Amino acid sequence: MNTAIIYGTKHGSTHKCANTLANEMGINTRLFSLETENDINISEYDTIIIGGSIHAGLINKKVKKFIDKNINILSEKKIGLFLCCMYEGDKALEQFQNAFPEVLRNTAVAHGLFGGEFDFEKMNFLEKAIVKKVANVEKSVSNINYDNIKAFAKKMSP
Ligand SMILES: Cc1cc2nc3c(=O)[nH]c(=O)nc-3n(C[C@H](O)[C@H](O)[C@H](O)COP(=O)(O)O)c2cc1C
């Protein structure tokens, strides 16, 4: 079984999670960042895992564009979906529902909420101001849920 993990990231947390997931999944897994790759031949893969992060309530634009463009072929694949975000609980679930179309959520073998990070080194002035005001956070914090990544990999394994 060939697996492609296709993800979008702004400050690198989703890349970190995708990389950890790829290591958990083992061989025959390829990583594709939508920041650098825009011509992925998904027909070569039996299993497609799509991941993105939430900024101001919305999933990464490149992830949304990739899903919209490939929705028909994705509906016929074995799918996994994951999100990086700092909200937890019901708010995270709501963001997950808004991030991915119903048809993919319904057929996905695994749904993952992998947590996230606030990385002040990588934020611009405006982002720092938003995070300070909205989240009341003043310095970098990592809240990646490695247990959820492991559980997700297990569910996706053939
Ligand atoms: C400006 C800004 C806005 C954010 N907005 C949200 C949000 O609306 N909901 C949420 O759960 N997390 C939010 N986050 C947290 C991100 O989802 C978190 O930083 C994530 O790890 C980013 O992943 P990335 O580096 O792969 O883009 C926000 C972060 C920043 C910097």
Q: What is the CATH number of the domain that holds 111?
A: 3.40.50.360
Among protein residues, the one with the nearest Cα to ligand 1's atom 2 is 55
Among protein residues, the one with the nearest Cα to ligand 1's atom 27 is 10
Could you give the CA distance from residue 130 to residue 77 in angstroms, rounded to a whole number?
38
The total number of structural domains in the chain stands at 1
Q: Please report the pLDDT score of residue 158 as a whole number.
A: 75
Domain that holds residue 19: 3-156
Tell how far the Cα of 60 is from the centroid of ligand 1, in angstroms: 10
The answer to whether the CB of 132 is under 6 A from ligand 1 is no
Tell how far the Cα of 115 is from the centroid of ligand 1, in angstroms: 10
Tell how far the Cα of 127 is from the centroid of ligand 1, in angstroms: 9
pLDDT in tens, the chain (158 residues): 799 999 999 999 999 999 999 999 988 999 999 999 988 999 999 999 999 999 999 999 999 999 999 999 999 999 999 999 999 999 999 999 999 999 999 999 999 999 999 999 999 999 999 999 999 999 999 999 999 999 999 999 87
Taking alpha carbons only, the member of 55, 23, 19, 16 closest to residue 144 is 16
* Token code pair at residue 74: 């994705």
Which residues in 103-114 are b (16+ Cβ under 10 Å) and which e? ebeeebebbbbb
> Are β-strands 141-144 and 115-118 bridged in parallel, bridged antiparallel, or unpaired?
antiparallel
Q: Please report the pLDDT score of residue 39 as a whole number.
A: 86
Q: Please report the pLDDT score of residue 1 as a whole number.
A: 73
Among protein residues, the one with the nearest Cα to ligand 1's atom 17 is 85
What are φ and ψ of residue 112, in 5° steps? -125, 135
